[in-house]
Amino acid sequence: MAGINNIRMFVRVYELGNMSAAARDLQVSAAVASSRVADLERHLGIRLFTRTTRSIQPTEQGRIYYPKAVQVLEALEEAEAAVQEITHHPRGSLYVSAPLGVGRRLIAPNVVLFQDQYPDIHVRLRLSDRRVDLTGEGLDIGFLLGDLPDSGLKVRSLGDCPRVLCAAPTYIARRGLPRTGADLIGQGHDCLLLRFPGSREFRWTLQTPEGPQAFNVKGPYACDDGDVLTAWALDGRGVVLKPVFDVAEHLASGALIPVCEETPPPDARLACLFPHKRNQDPKSRLFIEFMAGRIKTALRARNRIYQLPR
């Protein structure tokens, strides 16, 4: 049988679509990653990928081999989890994703505390504001802020996060203070947009006297990194939609000022998602339980820095 490290490398290259990214993910050099895939191809006597200088694509044989390879890895993980359950000493890697703001402010500070307590569990944290595909990208756990996808994933709710529309005093002095979503549109305010393929963040839902209403917002600046939008807002470039925990210090200092307070955005739900099978993995259960309480505590602490008037 092919070496398990070779199979694992093939799976990560297939899922990430990039040899270097897979190498970084599994903490080996690109040369080692390429060698492992080549060893597996020699063992099987087939080509698993078609390589060019710019891309790597699975062959027909690679697409056939992938789901079976995933089954092998999952079976191994289940066997290891069963033994770890008995020995009460879980070990191995956990692949975790989170949005940038959530990851930087709430997850990352607690990852180091988790690894201090469980040194044999290695957390591989991936931060991105795009919507990730947990199953397709081989992730164990994903944190999500906002609408939950319609999927077969299990969901652990971690709380509701107040959100705010805000802008810098310099922007308000130049463009005026919008009090409602209608002002935002009618007065042609510049909105800072979180955009990436498939994103719909250019439609902001606000609470109006008539109920929730979606506003089609526009602006000259768009980015797939929420922290960049915050920097632009601080620079007076426009109005930004943010969870309070993400900009609490800026609101408390007056560097950002709430706008559209007559039609505020609804709270966003923060949740943890994971495939059903991961619920049987003691590593995943430990991590989720560890994070749940600490995230709730961190949210309360950050929301105390600045409390929205209600």
Specify the pLDDT at position 189.
Answer: 95
Secondary element (H or E) of residue 194: strand 193-194
Integer Cα distance of 288 and 114 in angstroms: 10
| CB 168, CB 255: distance < 8 Å | yes
Integer Cα distance of 58 and 51 in angstroms: 9
CATH class of 163-266: alpha beta
What homologous superfamily does CATH list for 90-160+267-310? Periplasmic binding protein-like II (3.40.190.10)
- 90-160+267-310 and 163-266 share one CATH topology? yes
Q: Which of 194, 215, 218 lies closest to 131 in space, CA to CA? A: 194
pLDDT, mean of each 10-residue run, the chain (310 residues)? 80 87 84 88 89 83 87 75 60 89 92 92 89 81 81 81 95 96 93 76 86 91 92 97 94 96 92 72 88 88 79
Specify the pLDDT at position 187.
Answer: 92
Specify the pLDDT at position 197.
Answer: 60
188: exposed, middle or buried (C-beta count within 10 Å: 0-12, 13-18, 19+)? exposed
Specify the pLDDT at position 88.
Answer: 60
Q: Where are the beta strands (DSSP E) in 91-152?
A: 92-98, 121-127, 141-145
Cα of 155 vs its chain's centroid, Å: 15
- What CATH architecture does domain 1-88 belong to? Orthogonal Bundle (1.10)
End-to-end C-alpha distance for the chain, whole angstroms: 63
- What are the tokens at 158? 């971690």
Phi, psi of 202 (to 5 degrees): -80, 0
Residues whose CB falls within 8 Å of the CB of residue 79, separated by 6 or more in sequence, listed in order? none
Specify the pLDDT at position 310.
Answer: 62
State how beta strands 154-161 and 268-274 pair.
antiparallel
Specify the pLDDT at position 8.
Answer: 87
Integer Cα distance of 222 and 303 in angstroms: 26
Domain ranges in the chain are: 1-88, 90-160+267-310, 163-266
Specify the pLDDT at position 86.
Answer: 46
